[in-house]
Amino acid sequence: MLVFGPMRDLENQDKVHWMRAFSSLEEQTQLKKDFYEGPVWNKEVEPVAMSMIEEFCAEFTETTDGFEGFQSEAL
């Protein structure tokens, strides 16, 4: 999974965006399950992060034919 963010919204300084890219829907499903059912989210992130979120929106998109982006070496 590639993670891009946090990115500050140019029209609303209180809004933050994150983008995650996966190689397939199957990978997205498994990684999401592993993370949100895991100890880091449940014991460290969720108790702090959820109290700061006023609104949450998730959208799924896919690349179009010939799109060459989102390729990166591991950091």
Residues 18-33: tens digit of each pLDDT: 998 888 889 999 999 9
**pLDDT at position 70 over 70:** no
Q: Of 45-49, 55-59, 65-69, where does mean pLDDT reach its minimum? A: 65-69
What gap in Å lies between CA 27 and CA 8, rounded to an integer?
A: 27
* DSSP 8-state assignment for residue 71: -
At residue 38, the pLDDT reads 94
pTM for this entry: 0.63
